[in-house]
Structure 1
Amino acid sequence: MHRISEWIMKHRRLVLFGWLAVFVVGLVLAPTVSGRLRSGLALSSPGFTANENLARQFGGAGINPSVLLLTFPKGTTADAPGATAALRAVEATIPHDQGIRSVSYLTTHAPALLGAGHQSTVVLLYPADAQTDTVDTAVMDRLAHAATTALPGTRTDVTGVEQLAAGGGSGGTSVLVEVVIGAALALVILAWVFGSFLAVLPLLTGLVSIVTMLLAVLGLTYVFPGTRFNPSIEAIVAILGLGMSIDYALLVVTRWRESRAAGLDNDQAVRAATVRAGHAVLVSGLTASVGLVGLVVIPVSFVRGVAVAGLFIPSIAALVSVSLLPALLRAFGPALDRFRWRRRDGDRLWRGWARGVVRRRWAAAAVGAAVLILLAVMTTAINIALPSLRSLSSGGPARTGLTQLTADGFPDGTLTTLPVLVRPGLDPAAVGDRLATAKGVVGVLRPTDAQWRAADGTSVVFAMPARQIGEAGQGSVLAGIRAAAPSADAVGGNEILQHDNSHAVYHAFPYALILVAAITFLFLARALRSVVLPLKAVLLNLLSVAATYGCVVILWQWGHGLHALFGLNSSGAVNGLAPVLLFGFLFGLSMDYEVFILSRIQEAHDDGASTDEAVVEGLARTGRLVTCAALILFATLVALASASDPVVKIIASGLAIGVVLDATIVRSLLAPALVSLFDQANWWWPGWLDRTLGRPLTRTRPAARGASPVANVAQRAALPDDPVLARPSTGESGGAH
């Protein structure tokens, strides 16, 4: 870090203009990122194979259907001339020439497509290609108009899984709106923390980081063309990148202020902040990335795409904070910090708290552990499944359509009707008969029109389940349908693919968890020169993640507070991909705060403090910082939770809960209490590990035993083995504030 600091100070104009160039290029290319992102899941599984074959021959037949419900006037049945005319009008209006396909009573005569008393019917519509989630709303409106024109008095409703997930027409906030909300909340908190215009710098580095991250994602889509980078990545990168960048910048700027207050001039303060805080930022950034490295071993393209893109969030945030921010502090720091509207000693409260924790270490450890274990126990009740249809939306036209659908006697499974490929040489009628005998199947649809027969003779029949496929407890139904089908890779559909992906994810998840824990331990052991501290950090992080899972179960599975926060109903389950992605991000974020605190504790100990004194000094110096950083990250995650994607909502809310738990229970209570309890054992470091893991990124020369850690700030600026800090200022310095 000494050489990095010196290089930045010598070439600060190059650093500033270099990042300006990256920012401008990023702004120009950022709008093109969304066009390179693709939804869907890729996995070598029977469901994926079936959907690929369906897409190649029948467009979007593997997508959940858009459902048009026709409820005829009282006394009119589906076989009546008026109802038949309405169905024919709908079929005639469908733009088949654009590739849109349909399944209706008119083309199948399947009783499963008729409601109670035969006074209603559904038309299932599939988009032209597998990259489109739904049939266009304008098309659905034209079909509804055609039906009501042909048979006045007919009620029409449109529903479907995707329509419900979109909130019945509400698409959630855009990424830009989320960033603006997050940035505004962060600026308010930063202004409260710094009490001066210095608050602008962390926000500025956050914006540069976001643009750079989006530029990196754009590059990744070209470097890894076979990986599906989901559109939700754009929001995750932008919002999480903003929060992490500001957190890292907060650490550096706070250290710069401390150095100025200790009597260093501006150049020396920038060097000190870059070396000391910069080291913690780099360790935090790399450690946070480790949490996502483990997800790369999961053989699901969507998860790998999020993991690979997510790796750049902490790494770019750290890079900006240790390069651009020092250059900005050198150029503008004193001027921005000259006029303060708020001055206070933020250490006093935290110093008193730290002394109380150290004095009552056993009680603090017991209380902290009890809270986390109690929440973690809730994780044992977690139910991994797709959210129920009714939990996707609490209102809107799509929810009204679902309510009417079930009132007319149709099962929920209508919305997840499964396409089954019938290859040349097989009899569709015989395949349909076998499917009709499968457990949980209430009807089989055998369309006879040309739109469902390919040139090579391949055709499609549809199995309608009684309940939503992918919902909790439907695994045996899916297994029965696959057993009755010609082959497992003949059954397609979105829910099939989700089921296969969930199975693959949780088969590989334990290996990912072990890999992440092992790499994190080794990395922290090398950085902290301790065996106990990194082991404690990893175990506490795992406990913190488990406690967060417990909170996710309470909120999303049991629904306590869900309607008040998001206007949604409980699904009785947690979406299959959410816990894995939540682990990847939360493990790294939690480790950030651990590194912040342990770095200051270790530094105080190296300065000659006892373990208890080091804990008090470390927590006093970082307690307010970690709290403010967590508050900023919480604010940005609240903005992210407004996204329409239910998986993103779960991840964002889970991260927000996890950050609060970590900054309060773990880092302010349990972690310092355990460091105090372990005392000298914290610093145990066998010589063979020193030879095995090599030297850390930086070493701190111990000060005289008994010297005050605060007083040693100025002393470290002139250490013989710190030539960069000892170098006299060559430019404008300004006085300490």
Structure 2
Amino acid sequence: MNSPFQRLGQTICAHRRTVIASWLAAILIAAWGAQLLPGVSVGGSGPLEGSPSQRMDAVLHAEFDNPFLQPLIVAISSSRHSVDDTVYVAWIDEAATRLRRLPEVRRVASYADNGDSRLRSADGRQTVLIVGLNAASVAGQEHAVPAVRTALRELRTTIRLADPDAQLAVAGHAALTYDMNDYNKHEGDGAEARALPLTFCILVLAFGALVAAGVPLVMGFASTTLALGLAYLLALVMPVSNLLQNVVTMLGLALGIDYSLLLVSRFREALPGKPADEAAAEAVGEAGATIAWSGLTVTAGLLGLLFSPLMETRSIGIGGALVVLVSVLAATTLLPAVLAALGPRIDWPRALASRLRHARSEAAWRIVAARVVRHPYTAMLFAVCVAGTLAYPGAKARGGFNNESWFYPAGMESRVGVEILARMGNANAGLPLYLVVRAQDGQPALSAAHRPALANYAERLGRDPRIGEVLSPVTHPNAAELLLSRDRMAALFQVTAKGELGLLEVQVLARDLEKIAPDGPFTVQAGGPPVYYNDFDDLMRASFPAVFGFVVGATLLLLSIAFRSFLLPLKAAATNLLAVAAGYGAVVAVFQLGFLHQLVGLERPLAAIPLTVPLMIFCLSFGLSMDYEVFLLSRIRRDFEATGDNAGATASGLAASGPIITGAALIMAAVFGAFVGAEIVLLKMIGLGLCVTVLVDATLIRTLLVPAMMVIAGRWNWYPGIRQPAKASG
């Protein structure tokens, strides 16, 4: 009796022209949406709903009339002139004049206005203009960035004519987000260009035929294009991170090629002596269930991101699940139709196929499988030791944000601005800490009764060796209009950490200052970027148990249903966690500890690994690793059901599936590894982590550890599902 998937294959092949035409139409429409996706996706992590930093932002915008709370910073540097030179003063005046004409700009502060020494460097070579914007929303502030840069374009040319080494850059949080969005739009295309040549070479070696190698690439493109089009529709109904485009490209290529590799292999095995339609339907019957179960496990891993508190990762979870669905659908509908249409032409050119046939022999895999079966404990110990060594650096990880300039692409304008600020000794100017002090006795903040306590509070803050500057209505009465609430009941203290402090140290400072209040009837509410980063880290860490628990639990349930076994899902989860740990350990070793960091294009090691990185690596790779588990165990179970010999089934299953798993792993590694060449460090981290995880999984885990554990567990592998094997073991 035909399986449901074989009946599906027969139906698809019988209507292959309609199926292919329908897919082509869908791809063409989706390509239009994919082109529009960058324009509707958003940057950053989004608001942290209900967090202290979000409540503080609401207070600042509702109660204070201060356009400089989230300003743009125009940084100028010259090696030939000082800010007191006539020509430099003219640059500053022209910049301020041009900016004040813009409808997006509300107010501009410069050194030329009042000689404020905080706006210049000690040697006079650098200066900044603080640009207050009319927009209060993050999106509105980002839209102001290109207008500000356009207004200063001619002045930048003028400055460089006078001093070829001079720099003018627009920085600030909004500028940084705008630049990262712009870079993200192009990273996926660059990764594709780097991955495809190597991927095609791997496929040619795996199949020994140009047409057979080209079909999976076409499926990868089809899956990616359709998924990007669906992501555009998703972005119309909910906020979608600009990282989603890169994740969809990454997963669409990897899974589209991965599933096609399995089905094309089955088709070529079934083709001799059969009509193409029958061989394609048989291939779907054999591989369809495996692909479907694999898709479910990958989807479970991605849906775990829904438990994250961030818009960024939640949208990636939903969009990633879409690309998995599309990849499964393409492999079980479009691909059989294409194979049925190609028939024996899948092996063109036959001369090449015959030359490369020896490279695809299972003989080498039979030797490996035999050794693992004879020495399971040795194989298991070796695999665990090597993977554990790779995972060990993960124990030294420091999670958090980075404010080092080399975390951003070298040519990015906002990074240039950050570097100018660092030369001024104001590296943390973009990380102000806001403290709103409110009296509880009903009197105005600056009443005579309150002034001594607030002055003492400002003095206490200034004595902290970590603080570079305290700006308050008590210490800077000329700025009182900006630092007092509209009802005069609250005072704003703006604290800037010293430039030599790293971001992690600034975050510690923020936590410390939240606990300090003026003497008397006062409360303090803290906000600003350092508080946001603390809230981000706290919420992310709090979400980890739910994310990890859901992914592991859902995977255990799916594998229990698929293989009707108690032990196999537990072993699969344990070995997958080991592979993920190895991938994350490699990221920490390279990006934080600095081991071979130059090879991935990192200028210097970083202080911390963003907490989104382990979350993304886990959710993306846990399901992908399960991909190979399903491939391997499906083949082993089929042989065990036929022979009843657990050790023999393990050896034959590994020998048969080893070439496919290896080819698929190399292709995934090529796709993920291409993102290591990205300019954005976050994508480098995720690409390296996924690449190492996949390679460890395909080599150490699926080739050595899982088969060794299968041999050691014996018949308990299949309890309670298979109790009466076809033949007695032995």
Q: TM-score range by the shorter chain?
A: 0.7 to 0.9
Question: Structure 1 residue 369 and structure 2 residue 384: aligned?
Answer: yes
Q: Give 2:585's aligned amino acid.
A: G
Question: Structure 1 residue 32 and structure 2 residue 45: aligned?
Answer: no
8 Å contact kept, 1:202–1:246? yes
Q: Give 1:443's aligned amino acid.
A: E
Report the counterpart of residue 475 of structure 2 in structure 1: none
8 Å contact kept, 2:27–2:225? yes
Question: Structure 1 residue 122 and structure 2 residue 128: aligned?
Answer: yes
Report the counterpart of residue 684 of structure 2 in structure 1: 649
Q: CA deviation at 1:444?
A: 3.4
Q: Give 2:617's aligned amino acid.
A: L
User: Does 3-12 or 644-653 show the bigger shift?
Assistant: 3-12
Q: Tell me: CA distance 1:153–1:291, structure 2 relative to 1, closer, same or farther (3 Å).
A: closer
Report the counterpart of residue 308 of structure 2 in structure 1: 298
Q: Tell me: CA distance 1:107–1:460, structure 2 relative to 1, closer, same or farther (3 Å).
A: farther
82, 89, 96: which one aligns with 1:91: 96
Question: Structure 1 residue 509 and structure 2 residue 544: aligned?
Answer: yes
| CA displacement, residues 409-439 of structure 1 (integer Å, 9 cap, x when unaligned) | x142123334667999655997898567444
8 Å contact kept, 1:6–1:271? yes
Q: CA deviation at 1:77?
A: 6.8
Q: CA deviation at 1:31?
A: 1.3
CA distance in structure 2 between the partners assigned to 1:373 and 1:380 by the alignment: 11
Question: Structure 1 residue 220 and structure 2 residue 234: aligned?
Answer: yes
Report the counterpart of residue 504 of structure 2 in structure 1: 472
Report the counterpart of residue 14 of structure 1 in structure 2: 18
Q: Give 1:206's aligned amino acid.
A: G
After TM superposition, the structure 1 = structure 2 runs for residues 364-403 of structure 1, keeping only pairs within 5 Å, are 364-393=379-408, 395-396=410-411
3-state SS of paired residue (1:27): helix
Q: Give 1:296's aligned amino acid.
A: L
Q: Give 1:222's aligned amino acid.
A: L
CA distance in structure 2 between the partners assigned to 1:383 and 1:567 by the alignment: 18
Question: Structure 1 residue 666 and structure 2 residue 701: aligned?
Answer: yes
8 Å contact kept, 2:639–2:652? yes
Q: CA deviation at 1:5?
A: 2.6
Q: CA deviation at 1:661?
A: 1.2
| CA displacement, residues 424-462 of structure 1 (integer Å, 9 cap, x when unaligned) | 965599789856744432113568498999988899764
Report the counterpart of residue 242 of structure 2 in structure 1: 231
Q: CA deviation at 1:470?
A: 7.5
CA distance in structure 1 between the partners assigned to 2:151 and 2:523 by the alignment: 35
Report the counterpart of residue 313 of structure 1 in structure 2: 323
8 Å contact kept, 1:244–1:314? yes
Report the counterpart of residue 417 of structure 1 in structure 2: 432
Q: Tell me: CA distance 1:128–1:301, structure 2 relative to 1, closer, same or farther (3 Å).
A: same
Report the counterpart of residue 195 of structure 1 in structure 2: 208
CA distance in structure 2 between the partners assigned to 1:58 and 1:346 by the alignment: 74
Q: Tell me: CA distance 1:62–1:328, structure 2 relative to 1, closer, same or farther (3 Å).
A: farther
CA distance in structure 2 between the partners assigned to 1:209 and 1:55 by the alignment: 44
Q: Give 1:474's aligned amino acid.
A: V
Q: Give 2:332's aligned amino acid.
A: V
Q: Give 1:463's aligned amino acid.
A: V
Report the counterpart of residue 66 of structure 1 in structure 2: 73
Q: CA deviation at 1:627?
A: 1.1
Q: Tell me: CA distance 1:120–1:325, structure 2 relative to 1, closer, same or farther (3 Å).
A: closer
3-state SS of paired residue (2:643): coil
CA distance in structure 2 between the partners assigned to 1:210 and 1:665 by the alignment: 30
| CA displacement, residues 34-57 of structure 1 (integer Å, 9 cap, x when unaligned) | 222111322211223444666788
After TM superposition, the structure 1 = structure 2 runs for residues 114-513 of structure 1, keeping only pairs within 5 Å, are 114-116=120-122, 120-125=126-131, 129=135, 130-131=138-139, 132-133=141-142, 135-136=145-146, 137-142=149-154, 156-158=167-169, 160=171, 173-196=186-209, 197-223=211-237, 225=238, 228-261=239-272, 263-340=273-350, 341-343=352-354, 344=357, 345-393=360-408, 395-396=410-411, 405-408=421-424, 410-418=425-433, 426=445, 434=457, 437-438=460-461, 439=464, 440-445=466-471, 448=479, 462-467=494-499, 471-483=503-515, 491-493=527-529, 496-513=531-548
Q: CA deviation at 1:395?
A: 4.7
8 Å contact kept, 1:436–1:442? no
Report the counterpart of residue 48 of structure 1 in structure 2: 54
| CA displacement, residues 51-84 of structure 1 (integer Å, 9 cap, x when unaligned) | 466678889966574341456867x676x88876
Q: Tell me: CA distance 1:113–1:613, structure 2 relative to 1, closer, same or farther (3 Å).
A: same
TM-score of the aligned structures, taking structure 2 as reference length? 0.83
| CA displacement, residues 660-705 of structure 1 (integer Å, 9 cap, x when unaligned) | 1111111111111111111111011179xx9xxxxxxxxxx97667
8 Å contact kept, 2:433–2:510? no
Q: Tell me: CA distance 1:594–1:488, structure 2 relative to 1, closer, same or farther (3 Å).
A: farther
CA distance in structure 2 between the partners assigned to 1:54 and 1:60 by the alignment: 10
Cα RMSD over matched residues?
3.9
Q: CA deviation at 1:659?
A: 1.1
Q: CA deviation at 1:609?
A: 4.5
8 Å contact kept, 2:78–2:163? no
5, 16, 26: which one aligns with 2:9: 5
CA distance in structure 2 between the partners assigned to 1:557 and 1:634 by the alignment: 22
Q: CA deviation at 1:364?
A: 0.5
8 Å contact kept, 1:347–1:621? yes
| CA displacement, residues 6-41 of structure 1 (integer Å, 9 cap, x when unaligned) | 332333333222212211211222212222211132
Report sequence identity in percent: 26
CA distance in structure 2 between the partners assigned to 1:218 and 1:432 by the alignment: 54
User: Does 2-11 or 633-642 show the bigger shift?
Assistant: 2-11
| CA displacement, residues 88-112 of structure 1 (integer Å, 9 cap, x when unaligned) | 4432232453323544445686554
Q: Tell me: CA distance 1:577–1:705, structure 2 relative to 1, closer, same or farther (3 Å).
A: same
3-state SS of paired residue (1:124): strand
Report the counterpart of residue 565 of structure 2 in structure 1: 530
3-state SS of paired residue (2:232): helix
Q: Gaps (5+ residues) in structure 2? A: 473-477
8 Å contact kept, 1:369–1:670? yes
8 Å contact kept, 1:93–1:146? no
CA distance in structure 1 between the partners assigned to 2:481 and 2:77 by the alignment: 24
8 Å contact kept, 1:108–1:445? no
8 Å contact kept, 2:77–2:126? yes
669, 682, 690: which one aligns with 1:634: 669
CA distance in structure 2 between the partners assigned to 1:171 and 1:461 by the alignment: 36
User: Does 9-18 or 138-147 show the bigger shift?
Assistant: 138-147
Q: Tell me: CA distance 1:161–1:532, structure 2 relative to 1, closer, same or farther (3 Å).
A: farther
User: Does 598-607 or 474-483 show the bigger shift?
Assistant: 474-483
Report the counterpart of residue 733 of structure 1 in structure 2: none
8 Å contact kept, 2:219–2:331? yes
Q: Give 1:375's aligned amino acid.
A: L
After TM superposition, the structure 1 = structure 2 runs for residues 645-724 of structure 1, keeping only pairs within 5 Å, are 645-685=680-720
Q: Tell me: CA distance 1:171–1:601, structure 2 relative to 1, closer, same or farther (3 Å).
A: closer
Q: Give 1:4's aligned amino acid.
A: L
Q: CA deviation at 1:291?
A: 0.7
8 Å contact kept, 1:387–1:573? yes
8 Å contact kept, 1:418–1:464? yes
Q: Tell me: CA distance 1:205–1:393, structure 2 relative to 1, closer, same or farther (3 Å).
A: closer
Q: Give 1:337's aligned amino acid.
A: D
Aligned length: 686
CA distance in structure 1 between the partners assigned to 2:493 and 2:154 by the alignment: 27
Q: Give 1:179's aligned amino acid.
A: E
